[in-house]
């Protein structure tokens, strides 16, 4: 709340000193340091975010750079840090609620003395207008609400300064990691009864597992089995809203319809690649890393296939070859990116891929780890799929769908019949930038690299 500091003016009695005009009386306004914590844009496609959990509670002292809240974006769960020292005065968007990017989700007070003022501000902002005193139920239209309410229309209509948080016990907020919450839901463990061993008492996965084990020892029935018995079926006829990630995927797929694309298929023999994989698999090398490396080396020779068109008027030859690989995760799809795949050795690339997959499944990828791809791979070969077409992601020039390898009877160069292991790849490309001849040349180069993969281990 603003405070006024008035300054007085001294009038000298000596006439010579009164020749100069006197300064006007000034009123200095000192603003109370109450700052808003906004819903951040964690990716270029993010329009709203969901509060997964508040790491800090109302009244907690915060230091600059300290994590305050975990936000679910359209790609991952990320910790959001504060840019200032102070106190978390009021939480305006509770856990599980959704808020648009740029809207206030909490208030930060510089001193403890300003916490009450911040809470009053938050309550007046979030609380609906009081109903008319007269018994006129039809005369309380929503349109009469104050304009500031529109900013927080996605927040729950509950007072911010409530005495007990929904996910708390006796007024104590339960803070848990996203994976611990997911695990607790799967195992049927009530988080309010779990004692956290993580930083600041945060509940982590091992705490949930310990609580589940204790429940089995006491009751003889696994909470996981109970949860499975209740939640394994799908309620037919029910309408399920999109998650944040599913909404982002939906927007991207609709956007891709505006791009004129075409498809080219190619059959590649994989005997040499399979032999190499068997030889170096024990060193931690993955087939995904081998395919990404081979693709990157082919793109070096065909930079137009690694280009992108965003405005329909020009295109960019991307300076880096970053291979995005589609990964199915719980509730959606994400594309972790192997950056500079043409320059990184196959062993480092494989380690990086494993790290990215683990982070993707834990929803902990950083924005540059999923939005920097210049060429995309989608591989369904491990599911026995022999061929398929992929939809071009917005902002990229091409995506390659990789089918599984299988033995095939082929004619050899000397006219005999032989057996070869082959896989089918289909490339979908932006026809505004990439033409049929470009893709044909790229696929020929890729085929040569895979059929003679000695360069993949250099």
Residues acting as catalytic residues: 431
Distance CA 184, CA 325 (A): 30
279 C-beta neighbours (distance < 10 Å), count: 11
SS3 assignment, position 430: strand
**Distance (Å, whole) CA 129 – CA 137:** 14
Q: Which of 161, 37, 151 is nearest to 87 (CA)?
A: 37
Ramachandran bin of 366, using left for φ above 0, alpha for ψ from -120 to 50, beta for the remaining angles: beta
- Taking alpha carbons only, the member of 323, 328, 332, 428 closest to residue 383 is 328
Beta bridge partners of residue 423, listed in sequence order: 268
Contacts of 452 (CB under 8 A, 6+ apart): 272
Phi, psi torsion values for 29, nearest 5 degrees: -100, 120
Strands 34-38 and 337-338: unpaired
**Cα 181 from Cα 443, distance rounded (Å):** 45
Both tokens of 439, joined, read 């893709």
Alpha carbon distance 289, 276 (integer Å): 12
How many other CB atoms are found less than 10 A from the CB of residue 440? 13
Go through 39-72 and write b for each residue having 16 or more CB atoms within 10 A of its CB, e for each that does not. bbebbebbbbbbbbbbbbbbebebeeeeebbbbb
The answer to whether 75 and 367 have CB atoms below 8 angstroms apart is: yes
**What's the CA gap between 329 and 363, in Å, rounded?**
9
User: In DSSP terms, which residues pair with 400 in a beta bridge?
Assistant: 377, 427
Rounded distance, CA 312 to CA 297, Å?
28
Residue 144 near residue 129, CB atoms below 8 Å = yes
Q: What is the CA radius of gyration of the chain?
A: 30
150-176 core/surface letters (b: 16 or more CB in 10 A; e: else): ebbeebbeeebbeeebebbeeeebbbb
Q: 448 forms bridges with which residues in the sheet?
A: none
What is the bridge-based pairing of β-strands 398-402 and 417-430?
antiparallel
> Strand pairing partners for 424?
267
């Amino acid at each position: 709340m603003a405070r006024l500091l008035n300054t007085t003016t001294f009038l000298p009695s000596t006439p010579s000193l009164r020749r100069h005009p006197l300064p006007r009386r000034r009123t200095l306004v000192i603003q109370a340091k109450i700052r808003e914590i906004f819903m951040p844009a964690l990716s270029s496609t993010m329009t709203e975010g969901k509060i997964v959990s508040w790491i800090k509670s109302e009244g907690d002292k915060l230091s600059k750079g300290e994590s305050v809240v975990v936000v679910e974006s359209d790609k991952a769960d990320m910790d959001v840090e504060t840019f200032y020292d102070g106190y978390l005065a009021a939480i305006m968007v509770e856990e599980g609620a959704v808020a648009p990017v740029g809207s206030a989700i909490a208030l930060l007070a510089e001193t403890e003395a300003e916490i009450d003022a911040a809470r009053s501000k938050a309550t007046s902002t979030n609380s609906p207008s009081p109903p008319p005193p007269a018994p006129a139920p039809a005369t309380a239209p929503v349109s009469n609400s104050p304009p500031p309410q529109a900013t927080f229309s996605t927040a729950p209509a509950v007072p911010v300064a409530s005495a007990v948080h929904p996910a708390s016990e006796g007024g104590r907020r339960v803070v848990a990691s996203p994976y611990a919450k997911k695990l607790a839901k799967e195992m049927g463990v009530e988080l309010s009864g779990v004692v956290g061993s993580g930083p600041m008492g945060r509940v982590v996965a091992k705490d949930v597992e310990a609580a589940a084990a204790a429940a089995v020892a006491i009751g003889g029935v696994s909470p996981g089995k109970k949860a499975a018995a209740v939640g394994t079926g799908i309620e037919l006829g029910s309408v399920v809203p999109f998650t944040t990630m599913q909404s982002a995927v939906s927007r991207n797929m609709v956007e891709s319809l505006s791009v004129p694309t075409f498809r080219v298929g190619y059959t590649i023999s994989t005997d040499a690649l399979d032999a190499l994989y068997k030889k170096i698999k024990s060193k931690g090398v993955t087939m995904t890393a081998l395919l990404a490396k081979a693709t990157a080396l082919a793109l070096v020779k065909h930079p137009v296939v690694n280009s992108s068109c965003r405005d329909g008027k020009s295109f960019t030859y991307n300076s880096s070859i970053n291979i995005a690989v589609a990964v199915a995760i719980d509730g959606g799809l994400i594309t972790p990116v192997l950056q500079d795949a043409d320059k990184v050795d196959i062993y480092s690339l494989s380690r990086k891929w494993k790290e990215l997959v683990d982070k993707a499944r834990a929803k902990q990828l950083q924005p540059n780890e999923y939005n920097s791809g210049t060429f995309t791979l989608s591989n369904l070969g491990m599911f026995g799929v022999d061929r398929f077409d992929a939809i071009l992601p917005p902002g990229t020039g091409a995506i390659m769908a990789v089918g599984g390898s299988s033995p095939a009877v082929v004619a050899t160069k000397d006219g005999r019949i032989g057996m070869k292991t082959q896989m089918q790849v289909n490339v979908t490309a932006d026809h505004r930038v990439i033409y049929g001849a470009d893709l044909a040349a790229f696929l020929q180069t890729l085929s040569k690299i895979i059929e003679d993969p000695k360069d993949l281990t250099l």
